[in-house]
Amino acid sequence: MTDIYITSLVLQRRWTLAGFIAGFFVTSLIMIGISTPRYRAEAVIAPVASAGQFGELGGLAGLAGLAGLAGIGLSDSEEVPNFSMFIYFLHSPELANILDGSHEILREVFSNNWDAEGNVWREPGFVGGIIQFFRELFGGRVWQPPDFRDLAEHMENRLLISEVGTTGLVRLTFEDKNSDLAQRVLTYYMAGADQLLRVQERSRKTEERDYLLGQLSDTSLAEVRVALADLVAAREQELVMLSTTQPVAYKQVQPVVLVPESVYPPRILLMLLGLSFGVIAGISFILLRAGHSHP
């Protein structure tokens, strides 16, 4: 078949083609209508320096120099920066366990599995039972009600972390079918991860301060005592900063906001696919009919 013949054939049966296009387009609209929408909450943050990098002692280099002068080793090198720990905590089982206990978000996140009237978790249905069977067959765990481990796994897949171009900023996004829950969960997780980091840093700085005070009481060398006293003062300053309500690891550039329109299903994409498949199916049908008519 030549291109001219195919074009002529399609034009002759253009109403057949139009019917296929309309049918597939309507199907895409139906899919959009019956699909459960999903909404996205997002925030933009910027990493901030850790507590040990502030103060009048010249930051980490100054503290390291004082520690060297005093003949002791401290953790001012910060092998794992605060912001990296903050990102780790966002997906951690520890945070999932804490937040489920304080906000009871497990039932909301896994609302499809929760029977509110019976106040019990639903066991998998027919399709879910088949999936669970094969999961257990290949070494997966036996079904049990969702717990903080499932919440942590869910958040690892849904709470996304991405860089904003080359700005050094970081965007956090979370999607859920409940728009209000999407905003609340992202807010809870950001505050919770920062609080975990705050507790960890406060404990570490307190231990270092107490250690330095012990060293200060055991030495009589004037130069060493001055260096130790400066280190103690630096740790005290850091502990004061950790007692404020300001985030430890990040500065909020854009607060948690909700994207106005649902991000799932992708309406424009589904409509374009409907039109495309309609054209392909329609032309294929016309050519097949022509082939059968003229063997």
CB-CB neighbours of 214 under 10 Å: 11
Q: Are residues 190 and 84 in the same domain?
A: yes
Contact 218, 181 (CB under 8 A): no
Please check whether residues 257 and 279 belong to one and the same domain.
no
Do residues 161 and 192 share a domain? yes
Angle CA 46–49–54, to nearest 5: 145
CATH code of the domain covering residue 237: 3.30.1890
5 and 70 share one domain: no
Between CA 261 and CA 267 the distance in angstroms is: 10
Domain count along the chain: 2
The reply to whether 134 falls in a domain is no
158 and 234 both lie in a single domain: yes
Domain membership flag for residue 98 = yes
Per the listing, tokens 């950001």 go with 190
Which is nearest to 205 in space by CA: 235, 246, 243? 235
Residue 280 and residue 194 share a domain: no
Whether the CB-CB separation of 197 and 89 falls below 8 Å is answered with: yes
**115 assigned to some structural domain:** no
- 163 & 56 share domain: yes
Looking at the chain, how many residues does it have? 295
Same domain for 58 and 12? Answer: no
- Write out the residue range of the structural domain in which residue 190 sits: 37-110+146-262
Q: DSSP alpha helices (H): ranges in 219-266? A: 222-242
Residues 215 and 294 in one domain: no
Residue 219, Cβ neighbours under 10 Å: how many?
15
pLDDT tens track for 160-214: 999 998 888 999 999 888 888 999 999 999 999 999 999 988 898 899 889 888 8
CA 83/CA 77 separation, integer angstroms: 14
Place of tokens 């906001």: 257
- Ordered per-residue pLDDT tens for the chain, 295 residues: 566 777 777 778 888 888 888 888 788 766 656 666 778 899 999 988 654 443 333 343 444 444 444 444 444 444 447 888 899 999 999 999 998 887 778 888 888 888 888 888 888 777 777 877 787 788 777 778 888 888 998 999 889 999 998 888 999 999 888 888 999 999 999 999 999 999 988 898 899 889 888 888 888 888 888 888 888 888 888 888 888 888 888 888 998 988 866 655 566 776 788 788 888 887 888 778 776 655 5
Residue 196 forms part of a structural domain: yes
Q: For CA atoms 192, 193, 194, 200, give the dihedral sign.
A: positive
91 and 188 housed in the same domain:
yes
249 phi and psi angles, rounded to 5 deg: -105, -15
DSSP state of 119: T
Q: Is the dihedral of CA 244, 246, 247, 249 positive or negative?
A: negative
* Residue 123 covered by a domain: no
- Show the tokens assigned to 265: 């299903």
